[in-house]
Amino acid sequence: MFKSYRKLLSTVTVVALASVSAMAAGDASRTYANGKKVIDGGMTYPVKKGLTASYHVNTQKAYKDVKFGRAATPNEIKAWDIDVMYDGTGLPEGEGSVEMGDEIYEAKCASCHFDFGAGGAGYPALQQGNAYEMQKTLKLQRLHPDDDGPKRNFGSYWPYASTLFWYIKTGMPHPAPMSLSNDETYALVAYILSINEIKIDGEELDDDFVLNKKNFLKIVMPNKDGFIPKIEGKDGLENVRKFYDNPKNFGGNKERCMKDCFDGEPKVARIQGVGISDYNPPISEKKEKPAKKASSDSNEAKATYEASCAVCHGTDAMGAPVVGDKQAWAAVLKKGIDKVYMNGIKGINGMPPKGGTSLDDDKFKAVVDYMVKTSK
């Protein structure tokens, strides 16, 4: 049965076979047991005669009686259920102004996202200009090398601001997530809305604007209707199902041409120059033992510094003592090295505990030693 099914599938009338009903063990189906089409437009492999595809399955009835674990307590659920949904479900009490957000941004965000959320060095931009204007760029396609492309950022692209609140609260600042209060999070969302020139009730947000749980749902993002299929509301799942039932919606192809599939010689696009080839480690097909690396604690500390500390301690943008600045470090060391270690381990000012690393105390101290040594 399986074989003949495959044979049939390789003919052109694949779609018409959707309702092949008499299936033997191991067959594939386009529909679930409830008769609905598979939601992603593909196949499902129901258990038949103890098999799903080529896998044997335990079909003992007692299988369903296996149960372990215990009830989650209300406090446990409260502690973990911190998502924020598009309809405002999960927004906490609290408030914050654009001005307060600006200050927090300077202290905790600008070191990666740069001034005014401009982004750079691998960290995303939080705005690229007026969000309503940038939203219009989403129709652009870069079909030629000099074409302008779509600008995708929070203001121009994201459908709901709830996502920003949720993400900042649980994922930012990147080295120290879950460290911002609800008020601070409201303030940062307000600030990021303002630098995107998002209007609420037709008004741009000035420094005094205060965002809270109540007025949050008044935020209407410019690209709210920019996504397909429509997933919210009671028809969400069915909309998705219909969307993937039509290959045209997502670029699916069912044509299998075997001969003379295009006219003339192939039109070839090649890599420009050397392309992207700065790989670490470089590509090698040589079978040889690696040269022994001279590894020492100091090298490791240096590498850690460069990976995790230099982003703040490499420049004075963050107010952190700059490595190499003898005066700054002499001042720091007046407290005594033990105090310096402790401040670093616990975090101080804008610096998260251990600089956001997961080093043990000794390794962390080795990094501090490296920074001190380099600044003498």
Partner 1 sequence: MNKSMNVSENVETTITQSSRRDFFRKTAAYSVSALAAASVMAPVKIKAEDDPAIIEEQPWATAWGAPVTENLYGLPSPYESNVTRRVTELLSSGNMKASIAVTPIQDIEGIIVPNGLFFNRCHGGTPEIDPNKHRLMIHGLVEKPLVLTMDELKKYPSVSRIHFIECPANGGPEWRNPQFPSIQFAKGFMSCAEWTGVYLKDILKDLGLKPEAKWMLAEGGDSSHMGRTVPIDKVLDDAMIVWGQNGEALRPEQGYPIRLLLPGWEGNLMVKWLARLEFSSEPYYAKEETAKYTALTNHDGKAIQHFYANEVNSVITSPCPEKPWTDLKKGDVIEIQGLAWSGMGTIEGVDISFDGGKNWVEASLKGLVLPHAWTRFSYIYKYEGKPLFLSSRARDDAGYVQPSVKQERDAVGVEGVYHRNGIHTWEVTEKGEVHNVQILS
**Interaction residues for partner 1, span 93-152 (CB under 8 A):** 112, 121-124, 138-143, 149-150, 152
Q: Smallest distance, Å, CB 278 to partner 1? A: 6
Of 81, 103, 204, 316, the residue at the interface with partner 1 (CB under 8 A) is: 81
Of residues 146-205, those binding partner 1 (CB under 8 A)? 149-150, 152, 154, 157-160, 162-163, 166-167, 170-171, 174, 177-178
Cα dihedral 23, 26, 29, 31, rounded to 10, equals 90
Is the separation of the CB atoms in 77 and 65 below 8 Å?
A: no
Candidates 195-203, 212-220, 271-279, 327-335: pick the segment binding partner 1 (CB under 8 A): 271-279
Q: Which is nearer to partner 1, 3 or 334 (CB)?
A: 3
Of 75, 203, 208, 274, the residue at the interface with partner 1 (CB under 8 A) is: 274
Of 42, 50, 319, 324, the residue at the interface with partner 1 (CB under 8 A) is: 42
269 counts as binding partner 1 under rule CB under 8 A: yes
Q: Which of 307, 313, 304, 314 lies closest to 363 in space, CA to CA?
A: 304
Mask for 204-233, x = binds partner 1 (CB under 8 A): ----------------------xxxx-xxx
77 counts as binding partner 1 under rule CB under 8 A: yes
Q: Which is nearer to partner 1, 272 or 295 (CB)?
A: 272
The residues pairing with 123 across neighbouring beta strands, listed in sequence order, are 120
35 counts as binding partner 1 under rule CB under 8 A: no
With H, G, I as helix, E, B as strand and everything else as coil, classify residue 85: coil
DSSP 158-226: -S-THHHHHHHHHH-STTSTT-S-HHHHHHHHHHHHHHTT-EETTEE--TT-EEEHHHHTT---TTTT-
Q: Which of 168, 222, 164 lies closest to 198 in space, CA to CA?
A: 222
Q: Smallest distance, Å, CB 129 to partner 1? A: 17
With H, G, I as helix, E, B as strand and everything else as coil, classify residue 138: helix
Q: Quote the CA–CA distance of 170 and 36 in Å, as a whole number.
A: 36
Number of residues counted as binding partner 1 (CB under 8 A): 127
Mask for 283-322, x = binds partner 1 (CB under 8 A): xxxxxxxx----------------xx--x-----------
Of 61, 259, 334, 376, the residue at the interface with partner 1 (CB under 8 A) is: 259
Distances in Å between the Cα of 2 and the Cα atoms of 5, 28, 29, 241 are 5, 9, 12, 26
275 counts as binding partner 1 under rule CB under 8 A: yes
Q: Quote the CA–CA distance of 318 and 271 in Å, as a whole number.
A: 40
Of residues 321-350, those binding partner 1 (CB under 8 A)? none
